[in-house]
């Protein structure tokens, strides 16, 4: 489960929700996509491993990776400390309108009950 934040420059920042990190438990490793790589919506692009399990991260929309949170390589547990602050990667969407089709924070909260 991911959160997405639209930035002023038209990119989006992507991270794991607090709900998802809580379900995973203590995160011990993060494998992020490479800057410059092109992602397809719905395809796996990263891996987050915890003491319980490994989980694939899927691209929320198609686009190009323009930045990754390199600090997570040394401190993946930052996701557990603050899932919203510990973003994974930034993406330049192929079509910004695709972002509008994602769930809002309120709709997501309703879905997880």
Predicted pLDDT at 1: 86
Predicted pLDDT at 102: 85
pLDDT values of the chain reduced to their tens digit, one per residue, 113 residues: 899 999 999 999 999 999 999 999 999 999 999 999 999 999 999 999 999 889 999 999 999 999 999 999 999 999 999 999 999 999 999 998 998 888 776 766 777 76
Q: How far apart are CA 79 and CA 77, in angstroms?
A: 5
Contact indicator for 55, 23 with CB cutoff of 8 Å: no
* Full-model pTM: 0.91
Contact indicator for 85, 77 with CB cutoff of 8 Å: no
Query: E strands within the chain?
Result: 2-6, 12-16, 27-31, 38-39, 44-50, 54-58, 63-68, 89-93
In the block, residue with structure tokens 């997880």: 112
Predicted pLDDT at 108: 66
User: Computed over its alpha carbons, how large is the radius of gyration of the chain?
Assistant: 13
């Amino acid at each position: 489960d991911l959160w997405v934040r639209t930035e002023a420059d038209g990119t989006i920042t992507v991270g794991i929700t607090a709900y998802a990190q809580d379900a995973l438990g203590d995160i011990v490793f993060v494998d992020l996509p490479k800057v410059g790589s092109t992602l397809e919506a719905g395809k796996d692009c990263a891996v987050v491993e915890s003491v319980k399990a490994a989980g694939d991260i899927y691209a929320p929309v198609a686009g190009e990776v323009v930045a990754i949170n390199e600090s997570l390589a040394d401190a993946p547990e930052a996701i557990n400390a603050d899932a919203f602050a510990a973003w994974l990667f930034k993406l330049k969407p192929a079509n910004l309108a695709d972002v509008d089709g994602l769930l809002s924070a309120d709709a997501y909260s309703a879905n997880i009950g």
